[in-house]
Amino acid sequence: MKTSRQTITACLAVLLLLAFALPAAAQEESGESASSHGNGINRAVSYSQALLSDRFLPGLPDFDGASGYQTRAQKIVSDMFAEGESDVSDLVQVLVANNRTVLDHLIVNIATQTIYECNINGEVLNSSRTSTGAKGYDTPLGEYKVVNQARKAYSQKYESWMLHWMGITPDGAYGMHGLEGSSYERKLGSVASHGCVRLSREYAKDLYSRIKVGTPVYIVDDPELDLPPFREISEEAALSIVLDVVNPCDPWDVF
């Protein structure tokens, strides 16, 4: 059934292209300007690419649920499109030009007690176990960013030293860090903190060396969160992301 649908979709795309392209070609042969048909051809190309885009980048993660998360690549395209950039080729090049091996943002999933390092397209570059807030000390969900860093910070409230502190709230109430000693690491993977995101000493030190102030941090509680692994992006894959944002449509609703 899937093969049949793809075949029909491909045929419809080709027919749509021919329907717009042939009249334009005939007009060019007669010496007339084809500019009036340019928009029609562009629309045909857009629709055909939208119809076939699932061949290039299937299963983009859908974060409309508990997390409310949208991939940064989709957000970049959406923002540029909203600002008036409608050239698909330019939007594709913006995505291709971004270095996707670089850490772009973090996702802390309370449901699985895992922190994910993600690139601009929401793909996982690295992950590690965490301990977030125990009962009565819940780690708040939401969108944050790293606001400050310190190799060693002292919590007067809990009378403890926090190693490789990466604060996510200006008041210092919440952040990501390691702790002195190693006994706490046995609880990583389960709730245990006073609200912060606890990391192993080794991972906290490593992340601290690579993180930047301003890096987005998303804290979610989503047992169904399914993040894709990193993979090289092609222009076709980038095109699929762009079309998903600027020309979303169900192939069976196009005609």
User: pLDDT 10s digit of each residue in the chain, 255 long?
Assistant: 434 444 434 443 444 344 444 444 444 444 444 343 344 434 433 433 433 333 333 333 343 333 445 677 777 888 888 888 888 888 888 777 766 788 999 999 999 999 999 988 788 999 999 999 999 999 999 999 999 999 999 999 889 999 999 999 999 999 999 999 999 999 999 999 999 999 999 999 999 999 999 999 999 999 999 998 887 666 777 787 788 777 766 444 333
Q: Is the pTM of this model over 0.85?
A: no
Q: How far apart are CA 37 and CA 34, in angstroms?
A: 5
Confirm or reject CATH 2.40.440.10 for domain 105-220, answering yes or no: yes
In 10 A of CB 249, how many CB atoms? 13
pLDDT of residue 42: 44
Helix (H, G, I), strand (E, B) or coil at 235: helix
CB proximity list for 225: less than 8 A, separation 6 or greater: 63, 67, 107, 109, 111, 112
Handedness of CA 176, 178, 179, 185 (dihedral sign): positive
Query: What pLDDT is attached to residue 76?
Result: 80
pLDDT tens digit sequence for 49-66: 433 333 333 333 343 333
Nearest to 241 by CA among 44, 7, 49: 49
